[in-house]
Amino acid sequence: MPLKNVATQSATGQGAAIKFSHIIGGRKVTPEVHEPVINPATGEVVGLMPVGTVDDLDAAVKAAREAFVLWRLVSDTGRQSACSKIAAKLNDHAEELARLLTLEQGKPLGGLGSRWEIGGAQAWTAYSGALDIPIKTIQDNNEGRVELHRKPIGVVGSITPWNFPVLIASWHIIPAIRAGNTVVIKPSPNTPLSTIRFVQLLNEILPPGVVNVVAGDNALGAAMASHRGIDKMVFTGSIATGKKIMASAAETLKKLTLELGGNDAGIVLPDANPSQIAEGLFWGAFINNGQTCAALKRLYVHDSIYDEVCGELVKLANTVSIGDGLDEKNVLGPIQNEMQFRKICELVEDARVHGGRILTGGTAPENSKGYFYPVTLVADVNHGIRLVDEEQFGPALPIIRYHDIDEVIARANDNQNGLGGSIWSSNVEEARKLALRLECGTAWVNKHGAIQPNAPFGGIKNSGIGVEFGEEGLFENTNIQVVIS
């Protein structure tokens, strides 16, 4: 098994590793306890994460509440200007952040990897930070004037995952501060270092206390959700954890934005051209090694072109180089952590036991230093096995044969998740009609997982509450006040 007992083996080198600090009230706060952050490609220690306590969290919330008093009074143009400077700062430090991100997350520097993620954070920051928050006039006549104002909420608590640490941190932080809120963010303990560095850079621009970061284990996240000094929680991650956050937040009736798991279905219609759609299908499923909430995770292909689509995907899979993300030739890196690695191994083996036909991949390399798993395509599977019914969140895609379009739409919707879905066809108009029948927050035609800063993004059913991005996402960081005169 790759990286067996890696944390114990690597900890002997902690003396040379850089100790990172919390950022609270604009200052570095270094706790007594640190834990190693491991490179999933090599097993080496990347740096040492500060392990925060409830006292650290209280201090961060106190700093955020004090900063909110003045930050909420900064004009819209002043906050827009600050966000513009943040985007420029990200550009100036892009390569530094990308390399740190690759070291702790594993994704490659090039392609759809770390440089792409940092570029995305910059683009979202520039777009979201420039949005307006206008006063809406509901009525203005001889009976009176009614105005709708959007005001900042207060302190926003953010908990981010390990798959896109910097990009998702920007999705949480920038709309919050653009609306006039202050932030306390807790990154995933698997990938905290790039987020800490990101917040350090933000603090070179923003007043002290506007954005604070406290790293630590999952217990710290639970304390955030129930904290009386936090007015809203934003969380991206698993459904199980999202439900716990929602339950913990109930006592204080916090506002919530939850972007949770997905088990996105893609449906290939019989008129699709297999060779033309293969690349879109492949990267819809395997971007970030499949470790993406809105990746294509169940592929339904009409019986008439099933074998041809499978063949095209196998050809693409066989061209992809997998290895250490610092090597520019590699297109995919390792799975980020041991828990996820073991889950992928279990799901693929379960599919094999239940008659799944492994078209390519399906076995982890022997004696690997990292959590490497090959791109795996599994044919001739159906509902009722784990690889289809559960969110795999890794480089394994089940390919399911179907005959009837109404039946396959029903099967695609027969899942607790509702984040994204896609229809693949040569007839775009017909595909759009079918896309509207999918029970999901975002439906794509002839693509999958393509997100953009001006298009609201969020899930239905167990995939979340609320949306991010665009005007709608920005407004979720505000309270409405109506003024009647």
- List residues with catalytic annotation: 259, 293
In this structure, the number of other CB atoms found within 10 A of the CB of residue 182 comes to: 31
CB 187 within 8 A of CB 215: yes
The alpha carbon dihedral of 108, 111, 116, 117 has a sign of negative
3-state DSSP assignment of residue 288: helix
How many angstroms separate the CA atoms of 373 and 314, rounded? 16
The alpha carbon dihedral of 31, 233, 115, 25 has a sign of negative
Q: Report which secondary-structure segment, H or E, holds 256.
A: strand 255-259
In this structure, the number of other CB atoms found within 10 A of the CB of residue 450 comes to: 15
How many angstroms separate the CA atoms of 63 and 70, rounded? 12
How many angstroms separate the CA atoms of 253 and 110, rounded? 43
Pair of tokens at residue 66: 């004090």
How many angstroms separate the CA atoms of 239 and 389, rounded? 14
Nearest Cα to Cα of residue 267 among 319, 316, 305: 305
CB 438 within 8 A of CB 265: yes
Backbone angles phi, psi at 180, to 5 degrees: 105, 10
How many angstroms separate the CA atoms of 100 and 43, rounded? 15
SS3 per residue for 386-404: HHHHCCCCCCEEEEEEECC
> What contacts 459, CB < 8 A, 6 or more positions away?
259, 260, 262, 417, 418, 419, 420, 440, 441
Note the helical H segments in 227-265: 239-249
CB 396 within 8 A of CB 297: no
Print burial letters for 361-390: b (CB count within 10 Å at least 16), e (below 16): bbebeeebbbbbbbbbbbbbbeeebbbbbb
Backbone angles phi, psi at 87, to 5 degrees: -60, -45
Nearest Cα to Cα of residue 196 among 42, 28, 325: 28
N-term to C-term CA, the chain: 70
SS3 per residue for 47-59: EEEECCCHHHHHH
